[in-house]
Amino acid sequence: MVPAVLIDYGSGNLRSVAKALERVGAEVRLASEPGALEDSAELLVLPGVGAFGDCVAQLHARRLWEPVAAWLRAERPFLGICLGYQLLFEASEESPGVAGFGVLGGRVRRFDPTRVKVPQIGWNEILPSDPAAPLWQGLGPQPHMYFVHSFFPEPAEPALVTAECDYGGRFAAAVARPGLLATQFHPEKSQAAGLGLLANFLGTLTPARA
C-alpha cells in the first residue's frame, strides 16, 4: 500500500478520488491542516473542483499553501487532478493577478468559446506521447478519459507533456516527470482507463519505496 495524503481545501469530489486510489493500492488519508503533511505520507494528492483563485485562497486560509509548495519544491511524489494540475503553473486567465505554485513554467488559458463549447464536459480520447511507457501500459494508443473544464495549461516545457487531447486544437491533457503526474481529466471518473492510469502511476513509485 502507498500511504497517500489527499488535500482537503473545501472542494468536492474527495470521496471519489479517495475510493479510486484505494482501489489501486493506496492508503488514503484526508489532510485539512498543515500538520497532516508532516508524517510518513509518500504521495500527495491535490484534486480540484472550482475556480483557480478561490482554490488558492482556500489553501492559504487553511495554511496548506506553503506545506504543499514545500512538498513540490522537494520533488516528492505528487498527483494533481484538474485544478490541482492547473495550480502547478505560474498563473491562470481565470484569476488574473493570482499566482499558482509555479513549479512548472507556463500559464493556464481559456478555451475559445467561438470555436468550441465551453466548458468541455464528457468523454474525449487522449493521445499519449508514448503509449508503451510504463505510465500508459495496457491502456491502448488512444484511451478515453472524462473531462470537466473551461481552462487548460500551456506548459513551457513540451517534454513534460505525456498526453494531449484535441478540443478545438490540441492541448496538454497531462504532464509527467519522475514522481509526478498531473491530469486535466478526472481519472477517478474515467472508469477502467482512469483506474489503470492511477495503478500505473503508483507502480512507478514502487522503486522509490525500496
Which residues does the annotation mark as catalytic? Answer: 82, 186, 188
Cα 105-128-140 angle, rounded to 5 deg: 160
Cα–Cα distance, 36 to 9 (Å, whole number): 13
Pick the closest to residue 172 from 183, 186, 187 (CA basis).
183
Grid coordinates representing 22? 484505494
Cα–Cα distance, 108 to 86 (Å, whole number): 6
Cα–Cα distance, 128 to 64 (Å, whole number): 32
- Residues 84, 144, 192, 19: what is their CA dihedral angle, to the nearest 10 degrees? 20
Which residues have CB under 8 Å from 190's CB, separation 6+?
Answer: 144, 145, 146, 197
Amino acid at the residue 119: P
